[in-house]
Amino acid sequence: MSNTKNITEKEVQALIQGKLSRYFGVAPKEATKDQIYKAVVMSVRDILLEKRQQFHKVMRSKNGKRVYYMCMEFLLGRSLKNNIYNLGLGDEYAKALKGFGLTLDDLYEQEPDAGLGNGGLGRLAACFMDALATGNYPAMGYSIRYDYGLFKQKIVDGWQMELPDIWLPGGEVWLTQRSDKACTVKFDGWVREDWTENGLKVTYGGYKEVEALPYDMMISGKDSEAVSVLRLWRARNISHFDMKLFSQGDYLRCMEEENEAEVISKVLYPADDHYEGKSLRLKQQYFLVSASLQNIINDHKHRYGPLNLLPQQAAIHINDTHPALAIPELMRLLMDENGFTWDDAWAITTATFAYTNHTVMAEALETWQEDLIARRLPRIHMILKEINRRFCNDLWERFPGQHQFIEKMAVISNGQVRMANLSVIGSHKVNGVSALHSDIIKKSIFNGFYQIWPDKFTNVTNGIAHRRWLCQANPELSGLLTDCIGDGYVKNAAELEKFKKFVNDDSVLKRLQEIKRIKKQQFADYAFKKEGVTIDPDSIFDVQAKRMHEYKRQLLNAMNVISLYAELLDDPNKDIHPQTFIFGAKAASGYLRAKQFIKLICYLAEDIKKHPKINEKLNVVYMENYNVTMAECMIPATEVSEQISLAGKEASGTSNMKFMLNGALTIGTLDGANVEMSETVGDDNIFIFGLRADEVDEVWSRGYNASSYYNQNQRLRRVVEMIARGFNGESFAEIANYLLTGTPVADPYMCMADFDSYTATQKKVKDLYVQDQKKWAQISLMNIAGAGVFAADRSIKEYAENIWNLKPLKA
Ligand code: 26W
């Protein structure tokens, strides 16, 4: 079975039948759809396992280096379609299923989304697993097997409610429990240091132990030999009860302790770009890194022996600061459990780790209270203090007397442990996720470090799994591309460039338009089926889909809609092309301002509905529970992509790339990867507006005065007043005040400053749509053709070459 290409329809059928009979005791005829779905997944798992074993053999024979990607989030979405597609077994499975009276699409619908992530960071990690396997890189991802992923969003009367996301019943079939790799993680207790003739001896006692039980999920690459493994840790109570409590008859307390351990992997924290110093979150982080590092070290010893070779054999990636405790944890394992000296352990540690920063938002930078770490992780606390002491000592020598400079770079200060500083100090490479963002971190938050270690800093612009977001989500467009340029782009996205040649080919442009219309209809059907909303497929689909956040400025989008609404209220007969503004976004559960924005948009939508004539031209749709699967339907249907964050705030953005790849035209600020998108396609093919990042800084340093825009701009005044008066019988004066008089500053994300240029650009884009469909299609084509550099395959190659020093492995 090593060459999956050779698997026949009959073999597939036999595999599925075998699973049905073995695990469910049913014949295909009696099986439910759910049973068939599970049997199909199990059959795919078998194929992947076999492939993985073959790849393992190659890895062992070549003694290759591996990358370990640690991340608190993997926003996988569904897996069945991706794996069948990547294995090239679509036809075989489709035919085999026909025998059971089912289509592949029927089964895909059975799979729940694995929503083990909040947004961009988690989805990036998932796209990277795919690209690693496709590039034949030996890779393992590490995360937590949350019982509940990101909450399910319900919107009740405009207000977001969170419901538990129960994904395991249908998702667990992908996971293989690996009891053979279980280990334990220790919390609390005390540490004693004794000087012995062999030096300092550290004893750790009185701790509580939690069992870490791994579950593996395999992710296939496209036409490659490698299979990536995602290892997800589940927390379990150590099976030995506290017999003392038990025999004292305190049975219930025994059970309580069991629960205490298991809550660690219960639920994904739903905060995105906002950090909360909760003890449980700290435990999750340490649980992830301790279990993963024990696993890496055991494997290394088993395969290669001496741990001083670790940096040659293992690259460990810290995705944002969430897994940064891996740095002191590796120090602990090397020193306390493997007898290394501090200096040797530090050399190994820093040569092994690399770190990616994903945000410069101050409120997202993690700092833990030192006393919390001291209590929960006493040995880690000691090591952190020592890392800090040595680092500050070095700085004192290099920069005598520069107290402020040094204080800013310390790991521990004022009783707070700064995870970003720890990550920079403990890694040999640090990267940002777009050219602009990498530049900003060197100039701002990491400037001191950049002065000391200029070569440590680098950029790797994010990328997306183009096979998922184009080939699988938009087979119609993918088919057109294959007709025009062949299918080389599937493996090598740079070949999309060849599509440029067709920019004056009317028949291709026409097909492009037809395909967009098909995707719009499909999305309209989906929206109707899911939420009962009616969308006119001939209206312009203008979409903003991403986490709800002030800096992403869904509010600015709403302000433009309100401005159009005002125009139509004044003149309901005004001749404008029908537009549908579609939103998809979850707000962090405690983020009231973001929830208020959701309510504003929902109430605005309702208000407009009260004027059927206006509603024909202006429709607002808030899609509930935006997730990966919804994105796969929504993005191909989009004509206008909203990438309108305040410049300097969005580290990269990745939905911008997905929309572009599917032929949407972008309205955006020069922020994150939008900058590189505009350089790639040229000014004529993207619609840039608003202040640039340096201008934003300048305005702030001069003093930003939101109300001056209000006073000078009548249209804007009208919009803010309409917000204050409210929609659908509800006032949103709080939001109007936020824009005008908010404290500590009014309009902190400068919606007022960018309003004019945003609405003007909106108008320009919509006019183009009406006036020149051909030009529109040409721009769309140029975006598709330019999207190749934003493939995750390219990002991963750069990580491998510039950061991990990792080579692809082939038999
Ligand atoms: C501690 C709470 C918390 C949780 C998650 C803070 C910050 C995060 C993430 C860093 C948020 C995130 O997803 N950031 C996004 O990462 C993407 C991938 O690099 C970028 O494209 C987005 O611009 C960035 O917002």
Q: Which residue has its alpha carbon closest to ligand 1 atom 21? A: 653
Give the atom of ligand 1 at the shortest distance from the alpha carbon of 322: 1
654 is catalytic: yes
- Catalytic residue chosen out of the listed positions 38, 65, 552, 766: 552
Output the average pLDDT for the chain.
96
10 is catalytic: no
Q: Is the pLDDT of residue 275 over 90?
A: no
- Catalytic residue chosen out of the listed positions 658, 766, 794, 797: 658
| Phi-psi map region of 728: left, alpha, beta (phi>0 left; psi -120 to 50 alpha) | left
Q: Is the pLDDT of residue 1 over 60?
A: no
Give the atom of ligand 1 at the shortest distance from the alpha carbon of 366: 1
Average pLDDT over residues 758-773: 98
Tokens encoding 374 = 């001291």
Residues touching ligand 1 (Cβ under 6 Å) are: 118-121, 124, 271-275, 320, 358-359, 364, 366, 433, 462, 650-654, 672
Helix or strand or coil: residue 356? strand
Give every CB contact of residue 96 below 8 A, 6+ residues apart in sequence: 9, 10, 12, 13, 16
Which of 320, 367, 464, 589 most suits a substitution to test ligand 1, by most atoms within 8 Å of the C-beta?
320
CB 115 within 8 A of CB 165: yes
Within 10 Å of residue 265's Cβ, how many Cβ atoms? 24
Q: Label residue 198 by pLDDT band (50, 70, 90).
A: confident
Lowest mean pLDDT among 227-231, 254-258, 695-699: 254-258
Q: Which amino acid is at 47?
A: I
Q: Label residue 196 by pLDDT band (50, 70, 90).
A: confident
Average pLDDT over residues 223-245: 86
Under DSSP, the state recorded for 304 is T
Q: Is the pLDDT of residue 807 over 70?
A: yes
Q: Record the pTM.
A: 0.97
- Catalytic residue chosen out of the listed positions 367, 580, 654, 669: 654
Q: Label residue 2 by pLDDT band (50, 70, 90).
A: very low
Torsion on CA atoms 546, 541, 519, 155, rounded to nearest 10:
50
Q: Give the pairing type, strands 579-584 and 540-545.
A: parallel
Helix/strand/coil (H/E/C) assignment for every residue in 588-627: CCCCHHHHHHHHHHHHHHHHHHCCHHHHHHEEEEEECCCC
Q: Give the pairing type, strands 416-418 and 367-369.
A: antiparallel
Instruction: Give the Cα separation of 102 and 739 in Å (integer).
Output: 54
Instruction: Give the Cα separation of 802 and 798 in Å (integer).
Output: 6
Which of 123, 325, 359, 674 most suits a substitution to test ligand 1, by most atoms within 8 Å of the C-beta?
359
Q: Is 430 exposed, middle or buried (0-12, 13-18, 19+ CB in 10 A)?
A: buried
Residue 673 phi, psi dihedral angles, 5° rounding: -75, -10
Within 10 Å of residue 699's Cβ, how many Cβ atoms? 14
Q: Which residue has its alpha carbon closest to ligand 1 atom 13? A: 121
pLDDT at position 271 = 85
Lowest mean pLDDT among 226-240, 720-734, 787-801: 226-240
Tokens encoding 301 = 């010893």
Instruction: Give the Cα separation of 257 and 156 in Å (integer).
Output: 37
658 is catalytic: yes
pLDDT at position 201 = 87
pLDDT at position 199 = 78
Average pLDDT over residues 285-290: 98
Q: Label residue 266 by pLDDT band (50, 70, 90).
A: very high
pLDDT > 70 in the chain, percent: 97
Q: Ligand 1 centroid vs 685 CA: distance in angstroms?
A: 28
pLDDT digits (tens, 9 = 90+) for 374-397: 999 999 999 999 999 999 999 999
Q: Which residue has its alpha carbon closest to ligand 1 atom 1? A: 275
358 is catalytic: yes
Give the atom of ligand 1 at the shortest distance from the alpha carbon of 122: 13
pLDDT digits (tens, 9 = 90+) for 497-552: 999 999 999 999 999 999 999 999 999 999 999 999 999 999 999 999 999 999 99
Helix or strand or coil: residue 582? strand
pLDDT at position 238 = 86
Residue with the bigger pLDDT between 198 and 296: it is 296
Q: Label residue 197 by pLDDT band (50, 70, 90).
A: confident
Give the atom of ligand 1 at the shortest distance from the alpha carbon of 118: 13
pLDDT at position 256 = 66
pLDDT digits (tens, 9 = 90+) for 616-658: 999 999 999 999 999 999 999 999 999 999 999 999 999 999 9
Handedness of CA 653, 270, 182, 376 (dihedral sign): positive
Distance from the Cα of residue 413 to its chain's centroid: 30
Q: Ligand 1 centroid vs 119 CA: distance in angstroms?
A: 7
Paired residues of 318 in beta bridges: 70, 355
pLDDT digits (tens, 9 = 90+) for 77-127: 999 999 999 999 999 999 999 988 999 999 999 999 999 999 999 999 999
Q: Is the pLDDT of residue 5 over 80?
A: no
